[in-house]
Each structure stands twice: as C-alpha cells, then as structure tokens.
Structure 1
C-alpha cells in the first residue's frame, strides 16, 4: 500500500483508540466547511461526517 493508504490506516486506528477526540475533530471540520459554504452543502457534510464516524466505529453521540 502507498504512503497515503498507510497514513489513512494509521489515522483510522488512532481514531478507534480515541473516538471522543476524533468526533470533535470531525465536528470541527464539518462546521468549518458549513461556515465557508454558507451551509449550502449541509446535507452532504452531514452524510460525509457520519460516514467518517462509522469508519472508526463511532455512533456520533458524543458532544459536538
């Protein structure tokens, strides 16, 4: 696997070990995108954030 794939796998493993922190990061990234786009793509960012959370086993119920 290439370096990018290795980095993605390491990030996923770290997120699995620290889901609360990972949830905060995902929520922050989602918030920034929504702010910069004027919430134009809110539904898409919600689905994307949910997909990321599922990838490391979070249900997204931690405080955002």
Structure 2
C-alpha cells in the first residue's frame, strides 16, 4: 500500500477538510512569497486535490486562468 493510498484511506469522509487544508497551505505560501509564485502554487493545489480526490464540486470550482 502506497503512502498516497494510506492518505486517501485516512481522509475518507473528510474530503472537504483536506481541500480546505490544501487551499490554506497555498494561501500561506502565496503570502510568504508576496504572490510571486501564485500560478505555480495554484497548479500545485489543483494537482494535490486531484491526487487526493478532493476536487471542489463543479459549482465551487474556479474557472481556469488564461
């Protein structure tokens, strides 16, 4: 069992909390770097949510940046 599988198992039923944690971590990084890496942080947040299976529902999802 991989580490990712273990994390997914522990988050079962708490996807919303995990998504909030990923968002909060990204916001903290943006604050520390004055938004210099905002695009990369957003991409990392999206990838992390995809891997953890915690994507926001379609009505909460933000449109992709151009």
What is the TM-score when the length of structure 1 is the normalising length? 0.72
Give 4+ residue runs of structure 1 displaced > 4 Å after superposition. none
2:29 paired residue number: 33
Question: Residue deviations 1:21-62, cap 9 Å, x none?
Answer: 001100110000000000000000000000000012222246
1:10 and 2:6 correspond: yes
Alignment check: 8 A CA contact 2:26 2:45 kept: yes
- Higher helix content, 1 or 2: 1
Higher relative contact order (CA 8 A, sep 6+): 1
Between Structure 1 and Structure 2, how many residues are aligned? Answer: 58
Query: Please, which runs of 5 or more residues in structure 2 have no aligned partner?
Result: 61-66
Structure 1: segments with no counterpart, 5+ residues? none
TM-score scaled to structure 2, two decimals? 0.71
RMSD value, Cα: 2.0
